[in-house]
Amino acid sequence: MKVTGKEVSLQALQQNRAQEANAAREAEPTRAVERASSGLAAPSASTVSLSHEVEEVQEIVKAAKATPDLRQDVVDQAKADIDSGAMAADPQELAALIARDLF
C-alpha cells in the first residue's frame, strides 16, 4: 500500500458517521411534519398494512390447513367398490404402479 499522507484515519471516519447519524435524527421530526402537512401520515409503530397478495396467500394457507390430509369419503368409496367387485384390485398391477411412481 502506498502512503500518500491523504489517508483518512479511523477516528475521522467514526466522527463523520456519528455526525451524519445525529443530523438524520434531528431531521426526522421535520420530515414527519412535512409528511403530515402533505397529507401523508407518518407510519405508526402499532399499525401493520398487508398487501392484497399477502392477504390472499394467507387465506389459501388457512384453507389448506383446514382441509384434511385424507379424504375419508374417497377412501370409503374405494373400499366399497373393491368389496362389491366394481373395482378390481390386481396386486401385480398395483405393485407395478407403485414402483413406477417411486422410480
Share of the chain above pLDDT 70, in %: 66
Distance, in Å, from the CA atom of 100 to the CA atom of 49, rounded to the nearest integer, reads 48
pTM over 0.75: no
Can you tell me which residue has the cell 373395482? 87
pLDDT digits (tens, 9 = 90+) for 76-97: 998 999 888 888 778 888 889 8
Q: How many CB atoms are closer than 10 A to CB 78?
A: 13
Residue 28 CA to its chain's centroid (Å): 30
Residue 40 has pLDDT above 50, yes or no: yes
pLDDT digits (tens, 9 = 90+) for 60-77: 999 988 888 888 898 999
pLDDT band at 35 (very low <50, low <70, confident <90, very high): low
- On whether the CB atoms of residues 32 and 42 are closer than 8 A, the answer is yes
